[in-house]
Each structure stands twice: as C-alpha cells, then as structure tokens.
Structure 1
C-alpha cells in the first residue's frame, strides 16, 4: 500500500494496453490519467503535473520519442520520471529512448511485477532528489535557498537541470551522475549541453567553471 497518492500519466494509442495497465495501477492505489497522443499528454501534464509518466512507442499521429523530446524540452516537465514501453525488444530503440531522456525501458510483453518495480524505483528516486538534507547528512547544494543571483538561476532551469547543477557542485563526475540517476552518460551530456545553452556559455569545462564561480565560491562566502 502506498503512503502517498501518486499521479501517473499513461500515454499510448493501444487502448487494450492502456485499459489493462490502468486497471493494474489502480489496484496499487495510483491516480491514473490516460492520453493517446502527444498533444493530449502535454495538456494533462499542464493540468495535473503527474509524478510519473508511462509512454508507449506509438501514439496517435506521432511516436513516443517525439513525446519524450517535447517533455524534456519543457522546463516545467523535464523533471518527471518517464518509463518508455516498446512493442519489441530493440536495443537501438532503447538507446534512443534513454538518450532522449527516458528513465527506464520495458519491452512488451513484460511481467506486471517488472512494471510495478520500475514505477516504485522511479518514484522513490524522485522523492530522494526532492529530499531536504539536514546538516549532518551528505553535503547538498540548495539553489532555492541561496543568494538572489543563484535563485534566479534556479528558476531559469528545469528541475532536472537543477539536479545536474547540484551534482556538479557536489563534485560528481558525469558517470557518477548517470549511475545515481540511472540514465546513460549521453543523457547527462545532453542535459549539460542544454544547461550551457540556457546560460549562454560554451567550452568543454565552461559549465563546471560556471558552477564553481557562481555557486560554490558564493556559498563559501556566506
């Protein structure tokens, strides 16, 4: 039994799969919303702010990959954990989905238990990243409670991008970030590229230098 009611958005044009999956998740006390197209999925995200998304490879009028790109390009939604569902076990499709920003990949048919475990893992990890550390815990950078300039940066980036910034400030490597977030190194690199673009900086170590100058050094002065 879940201690909190989580909202899950299920996006797929296969209505049989949607109905079966919805029934399964309702038994686990999740609050389920469904959509069959990219447009419907984005509208529901705007209205309901789901805690997790399950996205199929085929949507009405487009594909699941397009939905992932639309989601990850929106700072309001790029933090939402996403499980990608494919109708075939294809490594190339899996890499594409993960590189675009999917957090997990399951090929149909899969065991109900596998989907439930993936959901619980993503929701648990998401809750962990929103956990407020106490002074006795591992050092964590809080941009939201920092200086005015850093708060401006916090609101300028999406939640997923702010997580990356915090990890850089904590001295974590790209591989460590990928392992902790359970995504590919390429996904982390894509996040770093988008963050650098939003900040108007360029160069191999430009983002790290930016974090050191504008976050770490500023916090040391406080």
Structure 2
C-alpha cells in the first residue's frame, strides 16, 4: 500500500492510500482531518493511520499554522496536541470555540499529561474527547470514527425529524443544530448539543452516565472502556454554565446520572402543519 503526500507552505497534505475505504464527513468526499502536532514522528504516525483508514489528512506543526489551515478549509475534525510551542493547544482550542465559523468542529485532544486534573481541564475547555500519549494507533482511529459517526448520525436525525424542541425560553433547533435561550444563540459544541437533546427528549427521566456516554458519544464496548463517566460530568458542567439560569433545569441524580426538570418540551411545527 502506498501513501501520497505533498508539502505545502503551511503543512503537509496526505493523500489517500490506493485501497482505503473512504469515511465521509457528511458528503461524498472522505472526511477531512486536521492534525496539529509539533512532534514530526507523532504527526507522521497519526497521519499515516488516519490516511490508511480512508481519511483526508493535513498536518500542521504549530498552533499558528494549524489555525491558518483550519480557516483555509474547514475540517470535519481536529486532532490537537495540547503541548505546542508558541501558540499552545489550549489557546488553539479556545480560538476554535470562540469563532462562530469553527466552534462546532469536534476536537480530539492529544496530550502527554496523564493526571485526571489535566483531562478534566481539557474537557472543560471544550474538547470532545481526550487521548493520552503514548496511545494505541487503533484506539485513535476508533475514537475518530466514533466522533464522526455520531456527528453524521445526529445530523441525519435532525434532517429527518426537523422542528424545534422547546423548554420555556430554551430552544433546540433540530434542523440547524442550534441552541437558543431567550432568542439569543448559545454557542454549544456538538457534544454539548447531543447531551442537551438527549436530556430534553427524556424530560423527567433520569439518564445514567453510561447511557449518556452511549447516546452522546456513541461509546460502546471497547470505546466506552477507554472513556470515563467523569467525562459526562465535565461536559454537563460546561453546558450548565453556558445555559445560565436554564442550566439549573439539569438536575444531578447523585450517584446515578442526570435528569432534565425544566418546562415541558414540545416540538414546534411549521405554521399550517397539523399534528397527527
């Protein structure tokens, strides 16, 4: 199997191997992944494994170059090293989440830091998933596949169901995948959107952390074994903060999981449509 790559001014673009099975990012083209990693060996390994899995991959060796590549062509997913020289991975992640054009891009963070506090901090900053070095190349590919699969799955569900799921001033638009509170948009990440939707759809019912991992992260079997239910807690905490007073509607069921206790949600149909 051969691998083609060409070097540009801002990074390296890796071509598809001849027999790769393309994995789409919501279109006919294989999903595009931007890898921001300053270690050439790790960057090459990650690019090789993802290219072999059928993805289009571009690498950038630093934060500034990564942001340039990101704005030149919006990727379907970013693999981001947290420890970058110059513009750090944390700063890159913050820039991604602050920009309306990029804040919904899923981000998988790579780091050599293994302490739980570092993992929690990364998730609180808006990472969708977290992988510590050294890591299994197979686990990396599986996590990327899981992230992209759930993104496609929820986008497909939104397109089929349509409508706006409401709870008081809180609205979740299933067509545009946007969340608003009192008419103002709430800048949620894809993972936060999925968590909120699951909770809204199950109003009044407690959802276990394991259930939320499976529903919002598409984490089953071996994939879920590598994730911690603490991950759910960190994303719920960030979601509550973003929702302000509406965040109080997400109740903690101590020792089990979470429950949405806000005003009754309902699907708002287009004017003139009739309920069946």
For residue 22 of structure 1, the aligned residue among 41, 47, 68 is 47
Aligned to 1:85: 110
Which protein shows a greater Rg?
A: 2
CA gap of 1:50–1:94, structure 2 versus 1, over 3 A, is same
TM-score scaled by length of structure 1: 0.73
CA gap of 1:219–1:162, structure 2 versus 1, over 3 A, is farther
Equivalences for residues 91-106 of structure 1 within 5 A: 91-106=116-131
State the number of aligned residues: 209
Structure 2: which 5+ residue stretches go unaligned? 1-20, 25-29, 166-171, 218-230, 251-259
Aligned to 2:22: 2
Higher relative helix content:
1
How far apart are residue 118 of structure 1 and its match?
Answer: 0.9
Contact 2:33 2:77 survives alignment (8 Å): yes
Contact 2:194 2:216 survives alignment (8 Å): no
TM-score scaled by length of structure 2: 0.61
Measured against aligned partners, the alpha-carbon deviations of 1:106-156 in whole angstroms (never above 9, x if no partner) come to: 222222111111111111111112113646xxx98472659xxx8x95977
How far apart are residue 23 of structure 1 and its match?
Answer: 2.1
Task: Pick which of 153-162 and 116-125 moved more.
Answer: 153-162
Aligned to 2:239: 191
Contact 1:9 1:35 survives alignment (8 Å): yes
Output the CA distance in 1 between the equivalents of 2:184 and 2:198: 14
For residue 63 of structure 2, the aligned residue among 27, 38, 48 is 38
How far apart are residue 55 of structure 1 and its match?
Answer: 0.8
Aligned to 1:181: 216
CA gap of 1:168–1:184, structure 2 versus 1, over 3 A, is closer
CA gap of 1:83–1:59, structure 2 versus 1, over 3 A, is same
Partner SS state of residue 184, structure 1:
helix
CA gap of 1:87–1:27, structure 2 versus 1, over 3 A, is same
Contact 2:108 2:130 survives alignment (8 Å): yes
Contact 2:32 2:76 survives alignment (8 Å): yes
Aligned to 2:201: 170
The question of 1:56 aligning with 2:81 is answered yes
Output the CA distance in 1 between the equivalents of 2:155 and 2:248: 29
Aligned to 1:143: 173
How far apart are residue 29 of structure 1 and its match?
Answer: 2.1
Structure 1: which 5+ residue stretches go unaligned? none
Higher relative strand content:
2
How far apart are residue 205 of structure 1 and its match?
Answer: 3.8
